[in-house]
Amino acid sequence: MSALEALLLAGLLFLSGITLVLLRNFFQFSNLKSEKRSDDSELSVGVCIPARNEENNIRKCMDHALSQSYDNFHIYVLNDRSTDQTGEILQTYKRVHESRLTILEGESRPKGWLGKPWACHQLSKAASTHDIMLFVDADTWMHPETIYKLVGTFNRKNVDFITVWPEQKLQTTWEKILVPLVYYALLGFLPVAYTERKPRWMPELFHKRFRNLFAAACGQFMAFRKETYRQIDGHETVKNDIVEDVGLAREVLDHGFRMKMYSGVGSVSCRMYTSEKELFEGFRKNFLAGFDYNIPLFIMMAFLHLITFILPFIILLIVPFWDFPPIVILLTLLNITFIFLHRMILAGWMNWDISYSVTHVIGVGWFQRLGIVTLIDYFTNRDISWKGDAIKHSDDKANPD
């Protein structure tokens, strides 16, 4: 077997594993349900929304939050030292919805905190009297039945922490190319059921040691029982974590609490970024952090993506000019078929444009470039910023200024 054949076969085996995980998640990664118990309305919900320079998003977020069919909730919005019209827009809502809405003005960030954890920490203090504390990003909007479904799920499933991955609304070409790769990584690499329970094939001793590997959450929509949030020390325990959502999920699991993860299709929607520049800077701040700053793993995954998602397309391009053995052609076509099938399944599942399934190789190439820039940031300790907050890299993880 030649080296090229071995690489293509390794990629095919990798894609076969992704197929199994993706199909399993297709049946297990469910949406929030609308069933309701008679005592659901007894639970009060504090909706916490951090907002920093969100003048383009905050109206839609507020309109949807205020239109909930559930009665027992209150909204807390933190204007986090915005320099645009966010504060003024919020005050217009306050004048109309004074009984339902509290506007907080963000305090200066203490040393040792990153911006979002600090904003959420301030919100948590204001919402600490509610039974359920729900954190929602300002670029995320809830359908009218969302809180109704959320409370019913807390009671029906007897869980302590719920996170929802929003249905991403994609408009520009770059959004349609790149954002689906985030969900491809989530649903193709992580069996969602293992965030909720121990894998049956894993001994208890190993699970206690490695269960954090299965921790996942989406910071755009996270809900905690009040006592759960208090016992894990809330956002203070992840005050300098760029991927604070995963950190909180790990704390939930480490403390022995139960969590559930859901798809937001039909209940929660979001538009994360609106341009290629925003996508690059947004992913840049947490790309390496998502690997827990494990450089060998980061590089290994980059190489695996190269041989799995890029090499077959390079071979396909040069087939007319190169005399490849038939086995190479067969492996190449099998790999590309798997990739297209995965993306078509995901597109139909998440209500995305199925024609962009053929752009997977472009997206992977884009993330390879991002990975190189991220490594340069890390090794040169170069500052990056997001919404005006500087983030620095140290030898082993990101720290605030």
What was the pLDDT predicted at 396?
42
Count of domains for the chain: 2
Domain boundary among 272, 307, 339: 272
Say how far apart CA 241 and CA 113 lie, in whole Å. 8
Q: Find all residues with CB under 8 Å of 353, minimum gap 6, and list them.
A: 170, 176, 347
Domain-embedded: residue 186: no
Same-domain check for residues 227 and 104: yes
| Sign of the CA dihedral with 96 first, then 102, 106, and 112 last | negative
Q: Taking a C-beta distance cutoff of 8 angstroms, is the pair 220, 136 a contact? A: yes
Q: Please check whether residue 191 lies inside any domain of the structure.
A: no
* DSSP-assigned letter for residue 31: B
Q: Which of 207, 239, 272 is the last residue of a domain?
A: 272
Q: Are 273 and 180 in contact (CB under 8 A)?
A: no
Distance from chain centroid for Cα 353: 20
Same domain, 101 and 144: yes
Q: Where is the domain boundary, 243, 272, 301?
A: 272
pLDDT at site 400: 38
Does a structural domain hold residue 71?
yes
Do 362 and 252 share a structural domain? no
pTM of the model: 0.90
Based on the fold, state whether residues 307 and 372 are members of the same structural domain.
yes
User: Does 198 reside within a domain?
Assistant: no
Residues 301 and 378 in one domain: yes
User: Is residue 203 included in any domain, yes or no?
Assistant: no
**Six token digits for residue 250:** 């790990």
Same domain as 314, residue 246: no
pLDDT in tens, the chain (401 residues): 799 999 999 999 999 999 999 999 999 999 998 766 555 568 999 999 999 999 999 999 999 999 999 999 999 999 999 999 999 999 999 999 999 999 999 999 999 999 999 999 999 999 999 999 999 999 999 999 999 999 999 988 889 999 999 999 999 999 999 999 999 999 999 999 988 887 777 777 766 676 777 889 999 999 999 999 999 999 999 999 999 999 999 999 999 899 999 999 999 999 999 999 999 999 998 899 888 889 999 999 999 999 999 999 999 999 988 888 999 999 999 999 999 999 999 999 999 999 999 999 999 999 999 999 999 999 998 877 666 565 655 434 444 33
**For the segment 165-201, what is each residue's pLDDT rounded down to a tens digit?**
999 999 999 999 999 999 999 999 999 998 888 777 7
Same domain, residue pair 226 and 113 = yes
Question: CATH code at 148?
Answer: 3.90.550.10
Contact residues for 363 (Cβ-Cβ < 8 A; gap 6+): 177, 178, 180, 181
Query: Which residues form the domain of 16?
Result: 3-25+288-400
Residue 21 lies in a domain: yes
Considering the domain architecture, whether residues 233 and 263 belong to the same structural domain is answered as: yes
> Where does residue 167 fall: left (phi above 0), alpha (psi -120 to 50 degrees), or beta otherwise?
beta
Q: Is residue 202 part of a domain?
A: no
Query: 78 pairs with which residues across the strands?
Result: 50, 104
Question: 334 with 223, same domain?
Answer: no
Say whether both 120 and 152 belong to one domain.
Answer: yes
Amino acid, res. 233: D
Shared-domain flag, residues 303 and 225? no
* Same domain for 78 and 144: yes
Q: How many C-alpha atoms does 90 have within 13 Å on its Cβ side?
A: 28
Distances (CA, A) of 166 to 219, 267, 355, 392: 10, 8, 21, 29
C-alpha dihedral sign at 191, 192, 194, 200: negative
Chain centre distance of CA 398: 19
User: What's the alpha-carbon Rg for the chain, to the nearest Å?
Assistant: 22
Asked if residue 356 belongs to a domain, the reply is: yes
